[in-house]
Structure 1
């Protein structure tokens, strides 16, 4: 069974976030102090979003049959490792920037750089908001599907309960019929025994009468 459409959607969101992180990390060291600070914050936000997406992927994997989980779980581990690596790289960039500032190796950024960074930050924030909104919609859809499945399960359980109750009533009726049959058989057995005794008595009387008739001929 292939990955679900929801899983693929989350995976696409993650790959976009991962690409955005890598691009910003490549250029962040060339920025001036203020622009670098804003870029670091933007990368931190994107890393946080990436972790949220990974959590969604982890949840979605649990809804996939166990026979198909192994490759997806392996991909998930690689994704986590890549984000952890990016997080460490970002920390190194921050430390390097702090060292440069400590030793005075810095220069004032131009207004153009600040304006460009603000624009990039706004665009990044909008993209982040769009992705978060999409994940919320996907989560809501998943919740609705889960609720629908739960309602169907409850309906099936009620139907099974009625079937069990009907089967129980049928068994009780059958048990009553068995009791009646046993009583009828016992009554028939007693009647057969009485009829057998009466038959023996009639035969005995007939034998006695025959003997009396024969005896009367000789007297």
Structure 2
């Protein structure tokens, strides 16, 4: 599921970068190309919304943290920028048909729009860099988890060996105790035999002397 979320985020980053590039082209496009670019941009916005909805569903299902709100806010800024370009383009065309007196102001507005495009491009690069950092962090986390899993297996094997060694020591201890008990029993029997022999010798000497 994490791989699917990463795929959606990557598709979203590529799509927003494409939208930003098309908005930049829209600012300097001719009347013939402007309508086609607008249709493509609107289609891209719909696709981006669909991606965000799918990404939000996947994030909810996995219980992972969601960056969907940040993506939506960024998409809203791009959409506002697109609307601003459309409005400014329409105003520019109307003024051109009526009079050329505001040409200097239109150039200033175009420069402002270009500056905004550069800002959006920088924002897109920042998002792409952030996404790369997230991927690297997830890869490091996966490597750490794999290492911890290997250490856990090693500890479990060591614990199993310790249990086997403890059982062997217990069996050895029981065997030694049994041998000691038998040795004590044999010694007791030997002492009793010596006592009986001594008593018999004493009785024999007594009867012999008597």
TM-score (norm 2): 0.49
TM-score (norm 1): 0.47
